[in-house]
Amino acid sequence: MEVLRGLGTQPKTLSPKYFYDAKGSELFDRITQLDEYYLTRTEMSLFDAHMKDIARHLGENVCLIEYGSGSSVKIRKLLEAVTPAAYVPVDISDEHLQENAKALHADFPNLSVLPVCADFTQLFALPDAVADMTKVGFFPGSSIGNFDPPGAEQFLQNVHATVGHGGAMLIGVDRKKSVAVLEQAYNDAQGVTAAFNLNSLVHINKELNANFDVGQFSHVARYNEDLGCIQMFLQSEVDQHVEIGGATIRFAKAECLHTENSYKYHPEEFLELAAGAGFAEVTHWSDPQDWFTLYLLQGN
Ligand code: AVI
């Protein structure tokens, strides 16, 4: 079992996918509205300030491919400004896709929505109907930061294989900045990020019949200067053991279970990664503080 494999390594790890059950998705929505979590707000401000310019660069009759399903305000803003010939949301959850496609259909009755149920970190086939359209990948929110750099490059290579030569990618990337600002974003005063992190244990208790004592773990998030990423952990408050899938896992007091990395990129670092995947920069949009950048990349 994947979870047991991660708990058997040193340091122990847990895939960030365990954040996202219904409760975790609700907590993530709350994170995006926190004062400290500047990422979503800043990216939205870029859409608001530059949408006309973004739409002009993307051109007409494009096929917009969203990596992850489009419930967010961002895709709606983009769909209003760009009016693509087709919109292809790609998500692993069919239920999510169907719900969002229905909601979008209500608001954009003329939009051709062609959902693809797939793990977007792997290669997937596009619907035949979009074969002749210019393809534009859309990956907002700095979700690229949750891959390690080689994983991010591999993902961008897959996007390149999907959008092809002359295709494009619009991607939001969080930038390196003061450690205090970064660490605050993942250690909010209300404890929403802590609840989000701890919820992965609640999720595993339910899904895998485990018995994590959630009250005996605490949230830790700190910036790793060497790696250039925020790292999140769940730290054991005491010596304890947990039963999971017939196995017993021991935690020493203060031992950390690693749950997430969130990489931050200087523009030159990100563009080097993109170049390795066959993409060149067309243009970018940044906020006045240079905290977050939206890049428009074109496939070589
Ligand atoms: C989804 N992803 C871009 C978020 C991030 O900032 O890495 C997930 C997150 N983890 C804690 N807060 C938000």
Backbone angles phi, psi at 289, to 5 degrees: -85, -5
Query: pTM for the complete prediction?
Result: 0.96
Residue closest to 70 by CA, chosen among 98, 110, 38: 98
**Residue 165 vs residues 79, 234, 297: alpha-carbon distances, Å:** 23, 43, 11
Residue closest to 159 by CA, chosen among 65, 88, 72, 96: 65
Model pLDDT, residue 69: 81
Rounded distance from Cα 143 to ligand 1 centre (Å): 7
Residue keyed to tokens 């035949």: 128
Distance of CA 16 to the CA centre of its chain: 10
Per-residue pLDDT tens over the stretch 221-261: 999 999 999 999 999 999 999 999 889 999 999 999 999 99
- 8 A C-beta contact, residue 38 and residue 292: yes
Atom of ligand 1 nearest to the CA of 141: 3
Q: Indicate whether 72 pLDDT > 90.
A: no
Percent of the chain with pLDDT over 90: 93
- The b/e string for 289-300 (b: 16+ C-beta within 10 A; e otherwise) is eebbbbbbbbbe
List of residues 6+ apart from 172 with CB closer than 8 A: 43, 46, 139, 140, 141, 142, 292, 293, 294, 295
Q: Indicate whether 172 pLDDT > 70.
A: yes
Q: How sure is the predictor about 104, in pLDDT bands with cuts at 50, 70 and 90?
A: very high
Over residues 1-23, the mean pLDDT reads: 94
Model pLDDT, residue 244: 95
Exposed, middle or buried: residue 167 (CB in 10 Å: 0-12, 13-18, 19+)? buried
Atom of ligand 1 nearest to the CA of 221: 11
Cβ of 27 closer than 6 Å to ligand 1, yes or no, is no
Cβ of 260 closer than 6 Å to ligand 1, yes or no, is yes
Average pLDDT over the chain reads 96
Model pLDDT, residue 218: 98
Dist CA 17 CA 14 (whole Å): 8
- Bigger pLDDT: 39 or 61? 39
Q: What is the DSSP string of the chain?
A: -HHHHHHTSSS-B--GGGG-SHHHHHHHHHHHT-SS-HHHHHHHHHHHHHHHHHHHHH-SSEEEEEEB---SHHHHHHHHHH--SEEEEEES-HHHHHHHHHHHHHH-TT--B--EES-TTS--PPPGGGTTSEEEEEE-TTGGGGS-HHHHHHHHHHHHHHH-TT-EEEEEEE----HHHHHHHTS-TT-HHHHHHHHHHHHHHHHH-----GGGEEEEEEEETTTTEEEEEEEESSSEEEEETTEEEEE-TT-EEEEEEEE---HHHHHHHHHHTTEEEEEEEE-TT--EEEEEEEE-
Per-residue pLDDT tens over the stretch 121-146: 999 999 999 999 999 999 999 999 99
Model pLDDT, residue 71: 67
Rounded distance from Cα 286 to ligand 1 centre (Å): 19
Cβ of 142 closer than 6 Å to ligand 1, yes or no, is yes
Over residues 26-38, the mean pLDDT reads: 97
Cβ of 143 closer than 6 Å to ligand 1, yes or no, is yes
Q: How sure is the predictor about 70, in pLDDT bands with cuts at 50, 70 and 90?
A: low
